[in-house]
Chains A and B, each alone.
Chain A
Amino acid sequence: MAAVTRGSFSALRVLLTQQYRRRSFGPQNLRLSRTEPVPSRWAASLQTSCSRTLHTAMARHRPVVQFKLSDIGEGIMEVTVKEWYVKEGDRVSQFDSICEVQSDKASVTITSRYDGVIRRLYYDADATALVGKPLVDIETESASELSQEDVVETPAMAHEEHTHQEIKGHKTQATPAVRRLAMENNIKLSEVVGTGKDGRILKEDILNFLAKQTGAILPPAPLFQEIQTPGPAPVAAPPLSAPAGVRPPPATPRPVFTGKDVTEPLKGFHKAMVKTMTAALKIPHFGYCDEVDLSRLVLLRSELKPVAERRGVKLSYLPFFIKAASLSLLHFPILNSTLDEGCQNITFKASHNIGVAMDTSQGLLVPSVKSVQLLSVFQVAQELTRLQALGAAGQLGTAELSGGTFTLSNIGSIGGTYAKPVILPPEVAIGALGKIQVLPRFDPDGQVKAAHIMKVSWSADHRLIDGATMCRFSNLWREYLENPASMVLDLK
């Protein structure tokens, strides 16, 4: 079998080389030179010219085709070019989209008829293009691609496997770049399942085929922009297909692996965060941490949860934390203040606008619940629900996002115990709440019992606030939460 193919291959090879010699296409000759001795006519030119002039000499021989805008029916003579998908210098394959044009409420996608490199765009976006006139210039790679019909491409190189397939009459659709990739990896195109349009074999199909053979995901081989020697064939040949212990890797979206660092400028929200956080860390922070026993609060919440649900609100622990903070701020107003720019004056804010840090798709946003000192726990829960819905939908506005005077960050909802939160200017204090964990603690009788423990970490501006103040505030807040019934005493 092999002998027969090899024999026919060499016969074809002779035919092809004659054909190529006649048409004088440089790149093909260079490629052929790797598999067989270079025809003498070209050997002379290779030796006498340096590589750059050789390349330009060959480039002159690559045909540049004017791709005309074909008739789109209904007697339409002109269209508007709406969007280009390519630019000059881009490489395109047959059937790739080149541009969108619009005429008379019809939107048409123009696809390329050739493989090659875009050399010229005849129109800008929003310009009027004429049917039958050139749309783009494409520099194609070989004469075989100049055919006007949408036929199956003949491979640019005559390789054993591909020739064999043609002889058998089995035509597989794939671009020369894909065929090259298959050849370098010793893959028969007939064995690959094509997932492109009309069953075309795409680069991804070759890579998936390879991955199945080796049981690993290989980085995609670079598409050659210029003639290069092919890399060594990977160890794929006799399949190490799915040996017992190796499971196929989970299907994650394939990242574009270029192996290079990617630099992007910081814009918009992230740039603003840089400025804010830089200003924040100019504040001299000190931290104070404690733990709170929420066992009684857990019981209370489970009792009140159905009541709140009947009123249409989901009750979590956060409304209690917020209300307890506000009740404590009444005794320690310095924690609800702000220092002016020159550090000359301190302003005690009347309203307790308690911010709640939210992790949204955009990043960290801190909407605030306004005037908590006037709200009941239920009202705080209602407002929180509204803010959380807006946050999830990405619809928080300036009214919600500004005007905060004190912040709580419920990082425990994601995880963690102690934290070191950063104060958000122009505020002077912030608290980070950890996860509620069930831990063993001693009760007053000296017995070990299970307690619901949450850790809290406060940070405060040491220019205004001292450790003792923070400690007393935290103790008061903790007492409200450890004995929720005491909140009733201070209701207004």
Chain B
Amino acid sequence: MLSHLRGTFCVLSAGVQRAWSSSSCLFMDPSSPGLVLQSQSTDVFQNLALEDWIDAHVDLQQRSILLLWRNRPAVVIGRHQNPWAECSLPAMRSAQVPVARRRSGGGTVYHDLGNLNLTFFASKKAYDRRRNLKVVTDALRRVRPQLDVQATDRLDILLNGQYKISGTASRLSRKSSYHHCTLLHSADRSAIATLLRPSCPGIRSNATPSVPSPVANLTDHAPSLQWEELLEAVVQQYSSEFGLTSASRCVDPADEVLFPGIGSMEAELCSWEWTFGKTPKFRVETQLELRDEQPVARCSAELQLEVKNGLVETCRVEVPAAWLPERLSASLAQALLGERFCPHRAAAALSTLLRCESGPLHGRLRNLCDVLVAAMG
């Protein structure tokens, strides 16, 4: 029997509720070779940690799992992507939207409460992404037969042949695999335009680029489709496609008893070293506009930075010698070496250095500092 969902995202109905005190009860139950889980959390890091935990600890040779989850607004980048190139970190800071790096490959997505995430866990042998997407498209066709939804070769799901409503990414480990995809039910599309643009100009990198596509929400074309209805349809379709008689269960990713060790997985996913430090090496090459206020004067300078593991590895600032002596601009560039590629770290280092350099050129130096910090996103 499937549980009915009301009001808040997840409520357990009495018939299906089971008290499980440890993960072994939940995952080793021989009576259900398949399992459908719904996460109670809307924190992107907790949910990603839950995915990691299931991938690492559950024996997927015997069973498959479908995990349903959604997050409060967040931007999720792929494993090998460059967060500075994919999203505008200043805009995200002011909107208080976090950025998270997932462990699977692929491109950048914007998550909010109107976006459903589905993760299909299976053994490496049972890894079949098309079959998983078929579950989603069949479920949609069943509840709204008039919707034209098709999975493409790139494993996107297109609505009416042109709007992307779902994107896919996956991860293969030694014995297990997971394939997750998004499904846009009623997400805030205006946020996507504001947030998913580069943080600073001039980034040159080999990181996996995102392929932007026009997107649409399911509710734009089927306004009567309720969230709970969508969930139930997907769960039913999963069960019938894989021949499983699983009931859907709610889990709390913050429960350390049910998922021992999940706290440290979450901490790793939040850490700067994972989110930014794992960025493949990239360069920043851009022009800087310098100006004097009194009298008004202008000058162009060039900035060339190389960033490895999120830290500034080399930095060259070429300012015309007539504007600032080379010694001064070189000392500013030197101050950035070894620091994180971050405007605040740069501000701290440069402000400290500025204290030593007082004199008639102090104003121009100050201006150069401000411009350098602005170029770092």
Contact = CB atoms under 8 A, between A and B. Distances in A.
Interface of A: 72-74, 82-83, 95, 100, 102-109, 111, 125-126, 197, 265, 267-269, 271-273, 275-276, 279, 338, 340-341, 362-363, 365, 394-398, 401-402, 424-426
A82 B354 CA distance: 39
B275 interface: no
26 contacts: A73-B127, A73-B172, A102-B80, A103-B105, A104-B155, A105-B78, A105-B105, A105-B168, A105-B170, A107-B104, A107-B170, A109-B172, A197-B56, A267-B337, A267-B339, A268-B339, A269-B335, A271-B337, A272-B352, A276-B352, A341-B359, A362-B345, A396-B344, A398-B351, A398-B373, A402-B351
B348 interface: yes
A395 B345 CA distance: 8
A426 B105 CA distance: 50
Interface string B167-179: 0111111100000
Contacts of B335: 268-269, 271-272
A272 B349 contact: yes
B355 A72 contact: no
Given A106-B170, A107-B170, A265-B338, 5 more contacts: A83-B80, A107-B104, A268-B335, A397-B347, A402-B366
Interface string B237-252: 0000000000000000
A425 to B, nearest CB: 5
Contacts of B347: 396-398, 401
Contacts of A426: 355, 358
A194 to B, nearest CB: 14
B: interface residue count bin: 35 or more
Contact of A425 (B56, B78, B336, B355): B355
Nearest to A338: B358
Contact of B172 (A106, A268, A273, A275): A106
A95 B56 CA distance: 13
Given A365-B348, A396-B347, A275 B356 contact: yes
Contacts of B377: none
Interface in B75-89: 78-80
B364 interface: no
B280 A126 contact: yes
B79 A275 contact: no
B334 interface: yes
A102 B349 CA distance: 37
A255 to B, nearest CB: 18
A73 B124 contact: yes
B234 to A, nearest CB: 21
B106 interface: yes
Contact of B373 (A111, A271, A397): A397
Contacts of B370: 398
B24 interface: no
B369 interface: yes
Nearest to A339: B358
A239 B373 CA distance: 60
Given A126-B280, A271-B334, A396-B348, A279 B170 contact: no
Interface of B: 56, 78-80, 93, 103-107, 124, 127-129, 155, 168-174, 206, 208, 278, 280, 312, 334-339, 343-345, 347-356, 358-359, 366, 369-370, 373
Contacts of A398: 347, 350-351, 366, 369-370, 373
A107 B52 CA distance: 13
Contacts of B174: 95, 109, 111
Contacts of B351: 398, 401-402
B358 A425 contact: yes
Contacts of A394: 344-345
A340 B358 CA distance: 7
B353 A275 contact: yes
Contact of B171 (A83, A107, A268, A396): A107
B211 to A, nearest CB: 10
Given A338-B358, A424-B355, A401 B170 contact: no
A271 to B, nearest CB: 7
Contacts of A395: 93, 344
| Residue with the highest number of chain A CB atoms closer than 10 Å, among B171, B172, B339 | B172
Contacts of A365: 348
A83 B280 contact: yes
Given A83-B80, A401-B348, A402-B351, A106 B356 contact: no
A362 B128 CA distance: 47
B280 A125 contact: yes
B101 to A, nearest CB: 11
A107 B80 contact: yes
A276 B206 CA distance: 38
A395 B349 CA distance: 13
B339 A82 contact: no
A68 to B, nearest CB: 16
A83 B168 CA distance: 21
B355 A108 contact: no
Nearest to A268: B339
Contacts of A271: 334-335, 337-338, 349
Contact of A102 (B208, B312, B348): B208
Contacts of B78: 105, 107
A111 B176 CA distance: 13
Contacts of B334: 271
Nearest to B342: A394
A402 B354 contact: yes
A109 B56 CA distance: 13
| Residue with the highest number of chain A CB atoms closer than 10 Å, among B107, B312, B336 | B336
Contacts of A74: 127-129
B206 to A, nearest CB: 5
A276 B355 CA distance: 7
Contacts of A362: 345, 348
A153 to B, nearest CB: 16
A340 B359 contact: yes
Contacts of A269: 335, 339, 345, 348-349, 352
A398 B370 CA distance: 7
A134 to B, nearest CB: 19
Nearest to A274: B352
Given A74-B127, A276-B355, A402-B351, A105 B104 contact: yes
A82 B336 contact: no
Contacts of B173: 108-109, 111
Nearest to A278: B356
| Residue with the highest number of chain B CB atoms closer than 10 Å, among A102, A125, A273, A425 | A102
A322 to B, nearest CB: 20
A401 B93 CA distance: 19
B358 A341 contact: yes
Given A102-B105, A105-B105, A395-B93, A279 B345 contact: no
Nearest to A397: B347
A182 B274 CA distance: 34
Contacts of A197: 56
A264 to B, nearest CB: 9
Contacts of B359: 340-341
| Residue with the highest number of chain B CB atoms closer than 10 Å, among A104, A108, A125, A268 | A268
Contacts of A279: 355-356
Given A100-B79, A272-B353, A72 B172 contact: yes
B348 A267 contact: no
Q: Return the 7 tightest CB-CB contacts between A and B, nearest first.
A: A267-B338, A268-B339, A107-B105, A401-B351, A105-B106, A272-B352, A108-B172
Contacts of A397: 343-344, 347, 373
B287 to A, nearest CB: 20
A102 B206 CA distance: 13
Contacts of A402: 351, 354, 366, 369
